[in-house]
Structure 1
Amino acid sequence: MLFILWVLAVILVVAGIFNLIKGQLLWGIVLIVVGLAVGPGGYSIFK
């Protein structure tokens, strides 16, 4: 389960960074925040 959350968090953060580069500022920030909230490191909503 921990590995799945880590992979999901990485995918969300990378997608958020790509959206920031493409100019979609709000959507990029939302994806990064959700990725950080889901990820097992640091802050996680599943702890």
Structure 2
Amino acid sequence: RYGMPPHGGFGLGIDRLIMQMLNLENIREGVLFPHDRRRLEP
């Protein structure tokens, strides 16, 4: 009744797609706005 119905497929995020296209070892190298707790502004 609630939630997603059963489905097939996968969700590929843009960050992981860029990581594969540029052959990066770490996803943090390709993220446009990295998550950093010490930084208050992007």
Q: TM-score, normalised by structure 2?
A: 0.28
Q: TM-score, normalised by structure 1?
A: 0.27
Q: Would you tell me which structure has more helix in proportion to its own residues? A: 1
Larger Rg: 2
Q: Which has the higher contact order (CA 8 A, sep 6+)?
A: 1
